[in-house]
Amino acid sequence: MVKSLVTGLCLAVFAAVIIGLSNLLGLDLEHVALLGAALGGVLGLVPHRPAWGKVAGFLAGFLLAWLGFALRAAVLPDSSAGRAVAAFVVVALIAVVAAVSRGRLPLWSGLVGAASIVGAYESVYTNAPSQFLTESPAAATTVLLAVGLGYLATNLLAPQSEPHASAQPDPAIDARRAERGQRGQRDDSSSTTDLDDLVKGAAQ
């Protein structure tokens, strides 16, 4: 409970810092502060081995979703059908990346990456699809900065520790080992008893 509270407070502070940086540096970060901090926190909190895999998966999903906007701007009609085709292509490609990487780039992190750029840029794109080349880089940069600060909050100020999967105890294996140990003790006891009987018989 304390760990969750500390992590949440770290994220809250970083969300406020993002808005402060927006005002100080003249960046348009205010509307993505909470989105970026929350998604960066999710990326940092969910355990995955190797750790770089979830970051790479996030970036892959982010890039594919950005290319989805490019596809909509260049080829697809600005309609429900066009948006549906773009969404299908993006999610399908994220799934392919996760499958090809054999889980090293998890599906969930790719979806988080896609959600970050969509959440930051969808409304801007809807208002001005023709401005994709000028508006999308700014949206991508701002949300990546916000996500990076959220990820930093959960990994630097509230670092996560996760034992390797091979180091985690397996109750079934422990039970079999205990059973073998008990069998070995019974066999040793039986052997000792037989040896004592033989020695007594020889003495008589």
Does 48 share its domain with 136?
Answer: yes
Q: Are residues 147 and 198 in the same domain?
A: no
Per residue of the chain (204 residues), give pLDDT as tens.
666 777 677 777 777 777 776 666 565 666 777 788 788 888 888 888 888 889 999 999 999 999 999 999 888 888 888 889 999 999 999 999 999 998 889 999 999 999 999 988 888 888 888 888 888 888 888 888 888 888 887 876 544 444 444 444 555 555 666 666 666 555 555 555 554 554 455 555
Closest CA to 109 of 65, 181, 73, 57: 57
Is the Cα dihedral 63, 68, 69, 75 positive or negative?
positive
Q: Are residues 186 and 159 in the same domain?
A: no
Instruction: Please give the C-alpha separations between residue 48 and each of 11, 77, 91, 105, 139, in angstroms, as whole numbers.
Output: 20, 38, 21, 9, 28
Q: Tokens at residue 43, please?
A: 């990326």
Same domain, 176 and 152: no
Task: Give this prediction's pTM.
Answer: 0.68
Domain that residue 9 falls in: 2-165
User: Are 57 and 126 contained in the same domain?
Assistant: yes
Residues 161 and 184 in one domain: no
Please check whether residues 99 and 178 belong to one and the same domain: no
Q: What is the rounded distance in angstroms from the CA atom of residue 22 to the CA atom of residue 19?
A: 5
Query: Which is nearest to 125 in space by CA: 83, 63, 183?
Result: 83
For residue 52, CA distances in Å to 48, 109, 174 come to 9, 11, 32
Q: Are residues 131 and 188 in the same domain?
A: no
18 neighbors 153 (Cβ within 8 angstroms): no
